[in-house]
Amino acid sequence: MNIKPLQDRVVVRRVEEKKETASGILLPGSAQEKENMGEVVAVGPGKASDSGTIIAMTVKVGDKVMFGQYSGQEVKDDNGEKLMIMREDDIIAVIG
């Protein structure tokens, strides 16, 4: 299944965080924060402005991004992998 987002939407694969350290200790706080990060796997064509022109996207496939805590909608692809679809505006920063 190939998901092609519309408008200024972005498909993000969440970073799967190791929830334990090498020695097996859970690190809940830090791990939870990392769940708002991911990698862009698909990018829409951009939103149409009021005048009809398309506003170019800023993020691109492969970018590591950080997004708002309650942003986007979770979808599952054919492999059962959970992905997030959100508007580019929900992405607050690119991590480089």
Site residues (vs a second copy, CB under 8 A): 1-7, 9, 11, 30, 33, 45, 48-53, 55, 58-59, 66, 68-69, 73, 75-76, 80, 85, 88-89, 91-96
In which residue are the tokens 């987002």 written? 5
Name the minimum Å distance from CB 68 to a second copy: 7
Provide DSSP, 12-55.
EEEP----B-TTS-B-HHHHHHHTTEEEEEEE---PBPTTSPBP
Beta carbon nearer to a second copy, 16 or 33: 33
Name the minimum Å distance from CB 2 to a second copy: 5
Q: Specify whether the CB–CB gap between 71 and 89 falls below 8 A.
A: no
